[in-house]
Chains A and B, each alone.
Chain A
Amino acid sequence: MSTPAEVSAEIEELVKMKKHSHPIMAVIVLFGGMFALLLAIGLSISFGAADIQLATVWTAVFHFNPDITQHQIIREIRLPRVLGAAMVGACFAVAGALMQGMTRNPLADSGLLGLNAGAAFMLALCFAFLPGLSYMYVIMYSFLGAGLGVGIVYGVGSMSRGGLTPMRLVLAGAAVSALLGALSEGVALYFRIGQDLAFWYAGGVSGTKWIHLQIMSPWIIAAMIGAVILSRSITLLSLGEEISIGLGQRTKTIKFFGMIIVLILAGAAVSVVGAVGFVGLIVPHLTRFLVGHDYRWIIPCSIVLGGLLVVLADLAARMINPPYETPIGALIALIGVPFFLYLARKGGKEL
């Protein structure tokens, strides 16, 4: 299929890629990140309206005693919340990493490309027309909505003259998000469910319950495993479609499964936390900077660092202005926007 010259160019690319991956650094990031994540989770549990010692956190988790109020608080409120934050962060980050790798678009992020708005719109419809729907089905609709959002964005992008440039996708994403956001708002106003939906617009993990985590985790775990399995192929895709095909990859199949995984991850995350953007933009870039361009390292590290980012953001959200909570979506946007501008300025040459 390819000429010797092309093959040697591919090999050169691969060698370059090898040079640009830092396995030792990746191991450090992975384990250091896990340690930091555990620490952040502990801190997040101990911090709140009722101050709880870290030691109490430990005993509540490992020697639970239902007679102690603090143990109850930890078990029923703080633990699901912080685990929810970690999960959601991991989901957004991996979804972003996959999208960036598959599309070679450095600006890809579930928030920017309309997935989050799509999922949120579907949730608004669920609240309006199917009140009392079990969370199991809510999450399914959320996947569908994410698919709807990204479907429109990519549809418009691919119908465009000049094809799917990163900038075009971002603009299409902004317009689709505006449209779906307006529709959700209209539904919310008409059915008077604005109060119920408000937390989704702002983005917050305070409402997370065990039942959410139970229903969500099988999906997320399956999707994460899928992402890890795909990671090698994603690395090759991120070098370019031709190289990937030249090395015998079935790029269509990989992209299909990759997109399904992205939809599951983003849909699940939005159903818990709302339309938080920029996590999927920031974390993969940061991870690539630290561990290089091999997605076999990027994806696990993104899981850890994404979780860490949202747990820390949630912690900060509660510390800034107690007893009020600052929406984490806003907090992350305040970091994400300058970062986005920086990437846009560079013109998106690097991935």
Chain B
Amino acid sequence: MKDKPIMTEGQQKTKARNLFVISILSLLIVVVFIISMNTGFIKLSPLEVLRTLFGFGTDKQQLILFEFRLPRIIISILVGMGLAVSGCILQGISRNALADPGILGINAGAGLAVMLFISFFPSTTATPVFLLPILAFAGAGITAIIIYTLAYKRHVGISPMRLLLTGVAVAAGISAAMIVLTLRLSPENYQFVATWLAGSIWGSNWKFVLSLLPWIVVLLPFVFSKARVLNVLNLGDLTATGLGASIEKERRVLLAAAVGLAGASVSVSGGIGFVGLIGPHLARQLVGSRHQFLLPAAALTGGLLVLIADTIGRWILQPSEIPAGIVVAVIGAPYFLYLLSRLKD
């Protein structure tokens, strides 16, 4: 599949337009990035931020920027990218516009794994953070398998609606289990878990950036390289088989990638829902449904979304913070309802 298909003039135009959209999105991220750097309990003017970025700030400014704000901002972007691309894959392979790692219960599974670990090894300082994404991946994976198995019906396969319904139920069960677990925690761990469940960017130091980054850096390009496969899968199983794609295998690989992205993101951000839903949808409105453009655009929209949510959450009720998850839910739930009302099944 190396040879480039010949493009018509119309396709070239779309391509140019899509590239333009993608560069605008990247630019927006940079703008919000700078705004976010200025936002916080301690005021820094844009000029001070720039000076500090290039190494001319006071020690205090350096500390605030490099140790508190920068890692948090980067994590927000990475988490948003991970969740949105994960949602994009899930929507593609299930051909269900409402699929999202949060609604499907995958986030909850990752969360449970992280929380089990924290409740058995309570000293968060000694916790090797690199382990968290792996644990979350395992939790998310097991949950995904459970949901898939429960939703699978012989001779009928997976119906998109039943998949969602099963996800909702499994997520409810997992959150019940989590509530039970929180009771066994010490007060300080409880506080931590409570904010975590609300979907706060909690792992705001460089260690967590480093633990999340490899997952994103490896999985995103891999998924992007599978854009064609996703396009084909999107046409439906019959067509896909007709076109010679070994759908089951491809689907499983892509599902694993989606689970990995969601799991790793959730391990540092907690229960941020709806990003995987909104990101891909906005992207689809902007660049259309060909995954070559859709995936990068979704990644950028998702990153932008969580970054904006976290910035708003830090800014709106100073000095207290609103977890990004709450901000995203306030935007995301109405959007989900809107999509639900337009969907025909």
Residue positions of A touching B, CB distance < 8 A: 152, 156, 159-162, 165, 167-168, 170-172, 174-176, 178-179, 181-183, 185-186, 189-190, 192, 194, 201-202, 277, 321, 324-327, 329-331, 333-334, 336-338, 340-341, 344-345
Q: Tell me if B158 counts as interface (CB < 8 A to partner A).
A: no
Which residues of B from 83 to 134 have beta carbons under 8 Å from A? 98, 103
Contacting residue for A179 out of B170, B194, B330, CB 8 A = B330
Query: Chain A's nearest CB lies how many Å from the CB of B146?
Result: 10
**Residues in A whose Cβ lies below 8 Å from that of B10:** none
Which residues of the other chain, A, contact B59 by a CB distance below 8 angstroms?
none
- The interface residues of chain B lying within 8 Å CB-to-CB of A327 are 179-180, 183
Complex interface: stretch among B17-25, B50-58, B262-270, B332-340: B332-340
Q: A171-B168, A337-B172, A345-B162 are in contact. Are A182 and B329 (CB under 8 A)?
A: yes
- With known contacts A189-B322, A326-B183, A182–B333 Cβ distance under 8 A: yes
Whether B180 and A160, one on each chain, are in contact in the complex, defined by CB atoms closer than 8 angstroms, is: no
Q: How many A-B residue pairs have CB under 8 A?
A: 123
When distances are taken between beta carbons in the complex, the residues of chain B under 8 Å from A174 are 103, 168
Question: Chain B nearest CB: distance from A232 CB in Å?
Answer: 32
Residues in B150-193 with C-beta less than 8 Å from chain A: 150, 153, 161-162, 164-166, 168-170, 172-173, 175-177, 179-180, 183-184
CA distance A333 to B178 in the complex (A): 11
**Bound-state Cα–Cα, A69 to B169, Å:** 45
A-B pairs, top 10 by smallest CB distance, nearest first, are A179-B333, A333-B176, A182-B329, A337-B173, A330-B176, A160-B341, A175-B336, A182-B326, A330-B179, A156-B337
Q: Is the CB of A179 within 8 A of B98?
A: no
A194 to B182, CA, bound (A): 15
- Taken together as a complex, chains A and B put the C-alpha atoms of A341 and B162 apart, in Å, by 9
**Nearest chain B CB to A184 CB, angstrom units:** 10
Specify which chain A residues have a CB less than 8 angstroms from the CB of B341 in the assembled complex: 156, 159-161
Q: Is A160 a contact partner of B322 (Cβ separation < 8 A)?
A: no
A139 to chain B, nearest CB (A): 25
Residue on A nearest B273 in the bound complex, by CB: A178
**Separation in Å of the A158 CB from the closest CB of chain B?**
9
Residues of A within 8 A of B60 (CB): none
Complex interface: chain B residues within 8 A of A321 (CB): 183-184
Which residue of chain A has its CB nearest to the CB of B102? A178
Q: What are 27 A-B residue pairs whose CB atoms fall within 8 Å in the complex? A: A160-B341, A160-B343, A162-B343, A162-B344, A167-B161, A167-B165, A168-B340, A170-B168, A172-B337, A172-B340, A175-B337, A175-B340, A178-B333, A179-B334, A182-B198, A186-B330, A189-B321, A321-B183, A324-B184, A327-B180, A329-B176, A330-B180, A337-B169, A337-B173, A340-B172, A341-B150, A341-B169
If A334-B177, A337-B170, A345-B153 touch, whether A186 touches B337 (CB-CB below 8 Å) is: no
Once the chains are docked, how many angstroms separate the CA of A175 from the CA of B153? 26
Number of interface residues of B (CB under 8 A): 45
* Chain A residue contacts of B343, Cβ below 8 A: 160-162
A175 adjacent to B322 (CB under 8 Å): no
Contacts of B172 in A (CB 8 A): 277, 333, 336-337, 340
Distance between Cα atoms of A340 and B161 in the complex (Å)? 14
Which chain B residue has the least Cβ–Cβ distance from A107? B165
Report chain B residues within 8 Å CB of A181. Answer: 329
Within 8 A of A (CB), among B316-335: 317, 320-323, 325-326, 329-330, 332-334
- Confirm or deny: B2 has a beta carbon within 8 angstroms of a beta carbon on chain A: no
Q: Is B342 an interface residue, CB under 8 A from the partner?
A: yes
| B9 part of interface (Cβ distance < 8 Å) | no
Set of chain A residues within 8 Å of B336, measured between Cβ atoms = 175
Q: Does B345 contact A (CB under 8 A)?
A: yes
Pick from A171, A189, A336: contact of B164, CB under 8 Å:
A171
Q: How far is the CB of B96 from chain A (nearest CB, A)?
A: 11
A183/B330 contact (C-beta < 8 A), A174-B168, A337-B173 known: yes
- Complex CA–CA separation, A156 to B333 (angstroms): 12
The reply to whether B161 and A179 form a contact with Cβ atoms under 8 Å apart is no
CB distance from A49 to the nearest CB of B (A): 17
CB-defined contacts of A152 to chain B, threshold 8 Å? 337
Nearest-Cβ distance from residue B30 to partner chain A, whole angstroms: 28
